Structure 1
Amino acid sequence: MSTEIELGPLVRRWGLPVKQLPSATAGIDELKPFVASILKEALPFIDTAAPKSPSPGAKKLWKSKGTKSDPDSAAKVDVLERAISCKELQAIASKHGIKAKIEEETWAVRLSAHEDAAKKGTASWDEFEHSFRLEHAKTEMAFTPNVIAANEAQRWDCTGIEVEEAGQSWDRFSLVVEEMRHKVGRPILKDRTFPVLQLSCAAKEGTGASEFVIVSIPVPDFATSDKANLSKEKDALIAFYVSIERIRKLSDGKIEWLLGTASDAAGVLPLWIQDKALVGIVWKDVPLFLGWIAKERAKTGAKTSVPADAPPADSDAKEGTEQAPQATTGVPTEPTTTVSDSAAVAETAHEANPEATDAETSKTAEEPKSEVAAEGAEGNTKA
């Protein structure tokens, strides 16, 4: 695969405005080209961080930030970083008529390979797939103590969609808007709410190695939608993360877990401080997930199933379903930890500026949530 990957306008931190989302009644003719355009951007981009085929030039795009380890994970975690310059982003914005605040977009990546086994320090393929492809939101609620509310605001029917992209057939599509609210340092720092368009799909069975991907894109003005719930709450700041997650079976039988994300916790925190903090914590969700699922496995004595009501990590798990929680709330009692894309962004708000004052957060509440939200990113396209 060539390392000369053209960056696109969709899988960006500036996100997609509500008016660029598919219509509420969209059918396969509208949804298929939309999801295909997202995959066309996301798959080649994340592949440069961990190429499926030899591509020496790809690694030049990413800077190693070291390898991390933790007792809860038998596998070590590599951390990488790539900065998309203002010049590159401005070129994308100009080409596609996007009106957005242009700031350098720093991506933090974590990469790990795990034994396919339902035992301490790792997880089985079924556990990975159930937790992240089928039950992504509930999983995050279940083992992220600082997630205090989650809401599946909108879902589209993707039945029958099949897409060819990156030399692979993809099906089992899911397309939803998820809202999540995190506490990040009460009472000093305001809660953050993350509205994202989340696409997931899997490699078609029988066409190659098992693989699935999840792409999350901010919807900065989702509060204007009649589908919004948590995004309309006035006592939280809208924050943003874009991410691409790829989980696949390797030829040696191990499970590769790759995630890349760029974010903005909003408020008064400078992005360069946030980016530094994010690179330092993005790896933590690997041992935290594996530690959590080991405990759930011990409770049930069987394959873990995420609770239907997705309680916080300090609550007992219940029998799972495949429907995301609707405006579920809880009051976690454990210390705040990072275990997901949005949780990592939220934690940067506290780690990057632990001495923020009430006056500072009050000031941000009076300001526009972001320039992207104010302008609606009017020129965003689906192509």
Structure 2
Amino acid sequence: MSTEIELGPLVRRWGLPAKQLPSATAGLDELKPFVTSILKEALPFIDSAAPKNSSSDVKKLWKSKGSKSSPDSAANVDVLERVISAKELQTVASKHGIKTKFDEETWAVRLSAHEDAAKKGTASWDEFDHSFRLEHGKTEMAFTPNVIAANEAQRWDCTGIEVEEAGQSWDRFSLVVEEMRHKVGRPILKDRTFPVLQLSCAVKEGTGVSEFVIVSIPVPDFATSDKANLSKEKDALIAFYVSIERIRKLSDGKVEWLLGTASDAAGVLPLWIQDKALLGIVWKDVPLFLGWIAKDRVKTGATTSSVPAAAPPANSDAKEETEQAPQVTTGVATGPTVVVSDGVAVEDTAHAVAPVTTTDVEAGKTAEEPKGEAAAEGTEVNTKA
């Protein structure tokens, strides 16, 4: 089998301009081809990192970066990397009439398999489904220390959409725009705001194994939308992440949790530094979530998570500040201490470069100014199936 997986224009770090989102009153005739286009692109790409077909050689596209462990997770977490060159991206852009700046796109992947049980060190299928497919934003807000504000800015009614893709029938679609604000190194580094279009769907019950996917695509100029909240705050520094998450039941009964992401936190931090940091922290979502849900079970006595309501938007009247590059790598505000596989407690300084999130670990470029409209300009692509 060929290792070639065709790259598309939609599930890219450069994102989609707000004007290419479905209209607020979009019906099935507009929404179905839109979500189908995203699935056509996302599914083969993420499947190449952990192929369902054992004879497939597409995994050669990904480079192993080792395996990690933590006391909060009974399962180890494998880390993989794929670098998509600027030349490859230029080819995609030229084919689809996209004009934007091109940097290589570094994707970090984490892969883990968990016992299907509501107990310490793991989670049940129902907990995964409830936490990530049904309550994604609230769950992320609950267990990710660096998420300080969240807002579901827009939602489309996807009732009745069913799509045949990658040999499976998909339904239970959800399509929203989520805005999230992250602290990445106060007081030296400014908070980042990430507006993303988020698609989720699941394999139709009774047609195959249990599986669902979540695809997040940047909408860098979402501040121009009348639906925007966090994105249009005067101190907002807009950043980018694209991610694909696949959670499914394996034949041995375990729950496989696969996530791939590429990102750009903008600001003063060089992209190459943040790409390196991304590989070092993307796996930490796993013990963060499993540690949080274990405590949540004890607190609520429930067999599925009880996520809190999203926090209110950050203060839009916050004082405008200019971000300065840190003089030394450890001279930044940091996240929590994490115990890594060698048993050494390491202060999580990498959070200042790429804070941990479930589907959105950030990286950065050298330009300080927010890039909303400028980044989206000329990136219009055809989303018809």
The unaligned stretches of length 5 or more in structure 2 are: 316-333, 337-347
* AA in 1 matched with 2:48: T
Q: Which residue number corresponds to residue 378 of structure 2?
A: 377
Contact 1:261–1:341 (8 Å) recurs in 2 = no
Alignment-derived partner of residue 109 in structure 2? 109
**Cα distance between partner residues in 1 of 2:136 and 2:145:** 15
Q: Is the 8 A contact 1:243 1:262 kept in 2?
A: yes
Show the counterpart of 1:135. Answer: 135
Distance 2:314 2:303 in 1: 24
1:203-235 deviation per Cα after TM superposition (whole angstroms, max 9, x unaligned): 000001000000000001101111111000121
Tell me what 1:94 maps to.
94
- Structure 1: segments with no counterpart, 5+ residues: 312-325, 353-359
**CA 1:56–1:206 in structure 2 vs 1: closer, same or farther (change >3 Å)?**
closer
Shift of 1:186: 1.3
1:340 corresponds to which of 344, 353, 357: 357
Q: With structure 1 as the length reference, what TM-score do the two structures score?
A: 0.87
What is residue 69 of structure 1 aligned with on the other side?
Answer: 69
Q: How many angstroms apart in 2 are the aligned matches of 1:283 and 1:35?
A: 28
- Once the two structures are superposed, the pairs formed by residues 176-325 of structure 1 within 5 Å of their partners are 176-310=176-310
For 2:335 and 2:243, how far apart are their aligned partners in 1? 26
TM-score by length of 2: 0.86
Taking the aligned partners of 1:40 and 1:156, their CA distance within structure 2 comes to 20
Structure 1 pair 110/375, CA: closer, same or farther in 2 (3 Å)? Answer: closer
Q: Give the CA deviation at 1:7.
A: 0.5
For 1:142 and 1:128, how far apart are their aligned partners in 2?
A: 14
Can you list the C-alpha shifts for 1:87-121, whole angstroms capped at 9, x where unaligned?
A: 11000000000011111001000000000000000
CA spacing shift, 1:154–1:375, aligned 2, 3 Å: closer
User: CA offsets, 1:303-325, max 9 Å, x none?
Assistant: 233334245xxxxxxxxxxxxxx
Decide whether the 8 Å contact of 2:172 with 2:201 is kept in 1. yes
Q: Would the alpha carbon gap of residues 375 and 242 (structure 1) be closer, same or farther in structure 2, given more than 3 Å must change? A: closer
Alpha-carbon displacement from aligned partner over 1:244-272 (angstroms, at most 9, x marks no partner): 00000000000000000000010121211
Deviation, structure 1 residue 3: 3.0
Contact 1:10/1:16 (CA < 8 Å) preserved in 2?
Answer: yes
Q: Whole-Å Cα distance in 1 between the matches of residues 236 and 73 of structure 2?
A: 34
Which position in structure 2 is the counterpart of 1:156? 156
Q: Distance in 1 between matches of 2:287 and 2:82?
A: 23
Give, in angstroms, the shift of residue 376 of structure 1: 2.1
| 1:99–1:375 CA contact under 8 A, matched in 2 | no
Where 2:237 maps in the other structure, the secondary structure is strand
Deviation readout 1:358-377 (Å, 9 max, x if unpaired): xx9xx82xx3526x734523
Distance verdict in 2 for CA 1:380–1:341, change over 3 Å: farther
Q: Which residue identity does 1:183 align to in structure 2?
A: K
Judged with a 3 Å threshold, the aligned counterparts in structure 2 of structure 1 residues 139 and 328 are, in CA distance, closer, same or farther, namely: farther
Note the aligned Cα RMSD (angstroms).
Answer: 2.1
Answer yes or no: is the 8 Å Cα contact 1:182–1:343 preserved in 2.
no
Identity %: 82
* TM-aligned CA deviation for residue 67 of structure 1: 0.3
**47-56 or 257-266, which deviates more:** 47-56
Q: Following the alignment from structure 1 to structure 2, what is the Cα–Cα distance between the partners of residues 68 and 178?
A: 30
**Which residue of structure 2 aligns with residue 50 of structure 1?**
50
SS at match of 1:252: coil
Tell me, yes or no, if the aligned pair for 2:171 and 2:202 is still in contact at 8 Å. yes
1:8-65 deviations in whole A, cap 9, x for unaligned? 0000000000111111100000000000000000000001000001244212100000
